[in-house]
Amino acid sequence: MAKQLINQGATPTGAGGDTFRTGSAKLQANDNELYTHLGAAADGILTPQKTKDALGITTDNNNLTILIKDSLRQSVELASGGLQTVMYTAKGQPTYMNIIQKYDMSTINPSLSGTHPAFIVDGVEKPEIFIGTYQGKIVSGELLSLPNVEPTHSANYDNFLNAARANGNGHHLITNAEWSAVALQCYKNNTQPMGNSYYGRSSEDPLLTGRRADGLNPGNTSGSARTLTGSGPVQWRHNGKNNGIADLSGNVNEWNSGMRLLNGEIQIIENNNASKLAINLGAASTEWKAIDGATGNLVTPNGLGTTVGTVKYANSGTADYTLVISQWGAFGSIKNPSATKPVSTVALNKLKALGLFPMVDGSAAFGGDTIGFNFAIEAIPIRGGGWSDAAAAGVFCLTLSLARSSTYSDLGSRPAFVSL
């Protein structure tokens, strides 16, 4: 019903207005409608849980409201079978997200165990993480996941990081841990996606195309061949379905936070702590930790990339605790060659969970995705490959050769969210 207004009559006596009984009845009718809308039963009792149920409010384990249903969100959740949702930023802008449920590493490989680190923040396990369905678009200073737009490109790591954080608490730039959590599910489910790896089409199957933002035909090697987000086929989604995460392979490489290579030394932020709004991800931050090659424990690095006994990458040799792969070699071909002090199994298991060492030996298991380095800088990871990388692109493609200040036309990123 429409809101019932009380006729207060003429000033100052109220002559001609509603009687006390009539006015009270209108107030009661207004109250009844509000109570019913908020979930009160016939007995008139209203509880917080009844209100949440009536309004479609979902809370996490900390009772923090993260989902308030509206027509857009409801339509996305219904169409995706509950695997996608829409969240709203600090400025009220919608951002489309895929919900990834917590899992144990034993579901990826029976020899492994423990919750994947992407679902642990400050030692607390999270029931799910939210990954941008689409590559990020910066709108009004916020990094959004939106369909059918040209992804933002040619911005450096800190620009993307700040735009993601501007969305509000819990919103962040996708972390290396989160990317790896999704990539490992693709590996396990045999759904490693194809994508825009050759100027608007897949290099593996030229019939699989997206809509180029520059208007040129797929396969035309002129122009900048970025495709509109999500415009490709289901084979470009992480699960091979319409409700999957789009464009993890090709189109634009994606900055990841929470991991770096410092002069060849692998350094990480513990678990998924890089998702925290206030954590310092700067070059001089004390949050960065190296990985002990014998124990797998996180240790404080010496700041030069030469910490004794920690895991490092190299292009050749048999140095202690050093993983070796030729420059732009296949991800699945990374070796652990030291005869005296190889990287231990426990340390390798940590690296496997973070997508820094293959689950199994051999490039065929990872589609020929490549890995490349610069051993003389602080290199921030970019993932997925770009629109001209052909077979080198893929969900396990990892480039560790760019400084945080780098900008390229095939370099972007993606937002993510975790309830903090």
The domain segmentation of the chain, as residue ranges, is 1-55, 253-413
Q: Are 235 and 207 in contact (CB under 8 A)?
A: no
What confidence score (pLDDT) does residue 60 get? 47
Residue 156 has pLDDT above 80, yes or no: yes
What confidence score (pLDDT) does residue 52 get? 57
What confidence score (pLDDT) does residue 85 get? 98
What confidence score (pLDDT) does residue 23 get? 60
Please state, as a whole number, how many other Cβ atoms lie within 10 Å of the Cβ of residue 396: 31
What confidence score (pLDDT) does residue 18 get? 72
Place of tokens 């970019």: 382
Q: Which residues contact 122 (CB under 8 A, 6 or more apart)?
A: 273, 276
- In the beta sheet, which residues pair with residue 412? 254
Q: Which residues contact 382 (CB under 8 A, 6 or more apart)?
A: 253, 254, 255, 256, 398, 399, 402, 411
Tell me the Cα Rg of the chain. Answer: 26
Q: Which of 219, 295, 265, 256 is nearest to 395 (CA)?
A: 256
Retrieve residue 48's tokens.
């917080």
Read off the pLDDT of each residue in 171-191 and give the average, rounded to a whole number: 98
What confidence score (pLDDT) does residue 363 get? 82
Please state, as a whole number, how many other Cβ atoms lie within 10 Å of the Cβ of residue 376: 10
Q: In what order do the strands lie in the sheet with 94-101?
A: 84-88, 94-101, 128-132, 415-417, 171-173
Dist CA 2 CA 368 (whole Å): 64
**By percentage, how much of the chain surpasses pLDDT 90?**
82
Q: Which of 281, 276, 230, 289 is nearest to 255 (CA)?
A: 281
What confidence score (pLDDT) does residue 62 get? 45
What confidence score (pLDDT) does residue 40 get? 72
Residue 64 has pLDDT above 50, yes or no: no
Dist CA 105 CA 377 (whole Å): 32
Read off the pLDDT of each residue in 219-248 and give the average, rounded to a whole number: 98
Output the CA–CA distances (angstroms, integers) from residue 157 to 25, 64, 152, 163, 281, in the order listed. 61, 30, 12, 10, 11
Q: Long-range contacts: 234-237, Cβ < 8 Å, 24+? A: 235/193, 235/194, 235/202, 235/205, 235/208, 236/193, 236/194, 236/195, 236/196, 236/202, 236/208, 236/210, 237/193
Read off the pLDDT of each residue in 321-334 and give the average, rounded to a whole number: 97
Reported pTM = 0.85
What confidence score (pLDDT) does residue 48 get? 61
Residue 276 has pLDDT above 70, yes or no: yes
Q: Which residues contact 18 (CB under 8 A, 6 or more apart)?
A: 6, 7, 8, 9, 26
Read off the pLDDT of each residue in 193-200 and give the average, rounded to a whole number: 98
Read off the pLDDT of each residue in 331-341 and give the average, rounded to a whole number: 97
Read off the pLDDT of each residue in 358-369 and give the average, rounded to a whole number: 92
DSSP 31-53: HHHHHHHTT--TT----HHHHHH
Alpha helices in 166-228 (DSSP H): 176-188
Tens of pLDDT, residue by residue over 10-48, are 776 667 777 767 766 665 666 666 556 667 776 666 566
Place of tokens 């140095």: 319
Tens of pLDDT, residue by residue over 162-178, are 999 999 999 999 999 99
Residue 3 has pLDDT above 80, yes or no: no
Residue 30's SS3 state is helix
Read off the pLDDT of each residue in 88-97 and give the average, rounded to a whole number: 97
Retrieve residue 19's tokens.
């009687």
Q: Which residues contact 343 (CB under 8 A, 6 or more apart)?
A: 293, 311, 321, 322, 323, 336, 351
Residue 246 has pLDDT above 60, yes or no: yes
Tens of pLDDT, residue by residue over 104-148, are 999 999 999 999 999 999 999 999 999 999 999 999 999 999 999
Residue 345 has pLDDT above 60, yes or no: yes
Which DSSP category does 160 fall into? H
Output the CA–CA distances (angstroms, integers) from residue 390 to 70, 91, 383, 393, in the order listed. 41, 38, 14, 6
Per-residue confidence band for 51, with pLDDT thresholds at 50, 70 and 90: low
What confidence score (pLDDT) does residue 4 get? 73
What confidence score (pLDDT) does residue 20 get? 62
Retrieve residue 72's tokens.
């857009």
Read off the pLDDT of each residue in 205-234 and give the average, rounded to a whole number: 98
